[in-house]
Structure 1
């Protein structure tokens, strides 16, 4: 609730009576000992009440950083800030998540149950509405606080799926920016929380400067879009191996699966290691690669399969929170990029799906969008594509145009159909699949290979692969058929005295409607609503803005998000 610009409207010192009531409320709510309470609110400190522009209230001691806040401003709930939690971490029970997931939370997203780490002793008992702080296992300092949206009984029934913690406040947000902008450890960076770097209480000067840079840009940009300092190389072999595994899973093209686990380790994991790091499975607690893979298989990140008595990496769950939030570090060997396999090879096909890729290349100023055709192979033509479309392979896989032409050439070679000079001889399969009965080309006829390839593409189910490169990494959408253009329309109301600008189908280009609505609302200082489109078949949302922003919205989509102009349909309707 503090990601948008927040200002202090009034500041009022509390009377001695109000201070005693505040101290008593905090002590009872959090069951604090007197010494712990004194650490937060010293007995003779001057306590001030801050009324904020979003109706919340906050409390400071001796004109310092905010220590507690009331989200509603009506005295219903006192929530500790990250500053208070750094002074007294035992204020709230923690929810643990992965370092790779922290960028999502720092960007203002709620923490879904899929991103929770279950400790050895379990999650314990809790109820919907309970306050919890959020940490990573390698650091004792919380970086966010929120309320639970489910109880332990619900989790026991349905598992770790769906809504988990509703975010109220986090490091780098506007409430944090009202304080001294310190950080408890250099592992706290604007984009991500890394394992603890030092145990000192005072943050380093470098960390302070990073925090200040995050604060200065928070009003106009999400924390994830700021330039990140170079993260430290993990010190333990376990952390290093887990990093290389996730990076390797992001790099391996779906067309290479299944592959031997030993090949995956040498081709994709080792090249992903950070510069200057040494990887040795035997020096980790896993001891063997198979144990590492099995651990992450249990988390649902990957699946394995034994083929000819050899262990193979069979599939990668690209939608898992560990992979969608993973940010690859600079300095790793080039190897195969996460986006390279998706653009040049086949990807697992799913209509209207979104997949996040690896880190974007450094120095990219604005997001760029590329649109390329992709094809799914029907059962009748699987023999032409060989192993890539066999019964054992992923039938939903998509192939590029170059893959289809190469598959036809390979089939002609395998079946002895190559006639030389860019021509091939039709067998029964090709003649029946590519030519109709009224055409003269029959089995045994020699045809131009380029013409046959064009006909082959026409017989495949066509999809469109849209890749949008962002500072956090490439985002990919796959749609069946043609690209659905973004529609920007303006509607007159009250005889032309009032206008509403509507934007739909932004999901086609991996643009989050809620994120777009918030950005346009801030940019044009207007009211905005984001609602689900009507109709059972519709899955998208509509962004509605007050005012005539017809052409301005189109310009933002082109300039800020890189949407090609031919895919922005601007229309006016009375």
Structure 2
């Protein structure tokens, strides 16, 4: 609703009485917000402004900065947090999860269909039509959109994941966001799409924990229910007696050690066990130099990234209800220390010698990433893998399952198995080497001028080759790093990185160009800055020319034709056959 007509008609500060009424309404709508949360959103002695917008909506800012809440109709009956407020306190409302690929549609203003949801193991939970929900992607704790549910959970249970699920109210990048400082919580937020987070620095210099992207996400259907997503090994059965008050003092140390050892057993269903594991995993990623840290920052930047891939963690559904109670429980156990500083709760210390901390099993990495990590603690030693998958057109969908999803991606092995299964079902199999052709195979895999007819036998390998040529090809590039897995899914064959050098001033000056690094999940801006530091040369990053180009070109002073391929291999695992090197004019 904020794609256009969002100019400000009037702006005025509201009285202290009106501020109290606004806070009262917010507390009614979001009862689990603590006083500390409210102080973070609306600090004392800072004016609150009310903005009346051209589209009849009303927005509220604090200190003439970012809009924090808005009333879509301006009638005072609904207050919705903006993305700015959700980045401060992601737990204000529950999040639905969708795929990174789908985020581009939502950012463009499209309502979120139920087919585009990722359903965690515990389901989507209970909700009614009209309930507020934020929208996030796996591997990124920051919501990028907010809206209201168009159906209830009971209707979804009856009809399945079909039709509209969430009516969009506001997104990152829309004009309501544009009324603020136009910031983003992380470089993973781009105008076109939201990506899983990489390691970055927060505003205070602390490291934001890296997040693993779900394995194989690029090859999943956009309407899949995520049933086969691997569990996080650290969320295996937490014992139900983790509450310190339930363990006699004499046995407390032994019980705590048992709790930590039990973190790597079987999948967790209990919300308490999930949030406790998030706490322990989050503490592992907090560096001592980052302390003291706001507890809200610890929750959003360390606890949420430590959750299992695809899981929906909601502290309000646990017995703790509030973050302060969870931290207090573990502070009594001696695991951590908190302190109120200027009316704000802060995490001040972590007891890294505590049995719970030392026994906690950290997030496992892939074999490639683990090997890379043993060589260096930085991104050096990354491993690149490229896999191809195929999307089936409607005309050939009968070869696959009867209810095959139009958006599903299949590996070549799965396509081969589906073709053999189809031949068995239709009585076309002539052994491993040949098939008997039917109307579908003749009509869609052979040209009209070719002599093949129904009933003819034909080599299986040639039918398989023809079938693959009729499917839409996609490639998935996985870059395993010590911080997690970065994946890029694109249509067609992989596009190589291009490195070229041109002579200027009669050969006295050289300029090296680097393009298409986005194909391998790299940010041109971030890579350009790294190359500038590495080679101590001037650097510029510009958009590639052409209407169909979406990437950027990095331009570096000097002849780096030899150095850049070696750097890409050493730092990111991008082998030479993925890089095209040439001197312009040759």
**TM-score of the two chains, using structure 2 as the length reference:** 0.44
Which structure has more RCO (C-alpha within 8 Å, separation ≥ 6)?
Answer: 2
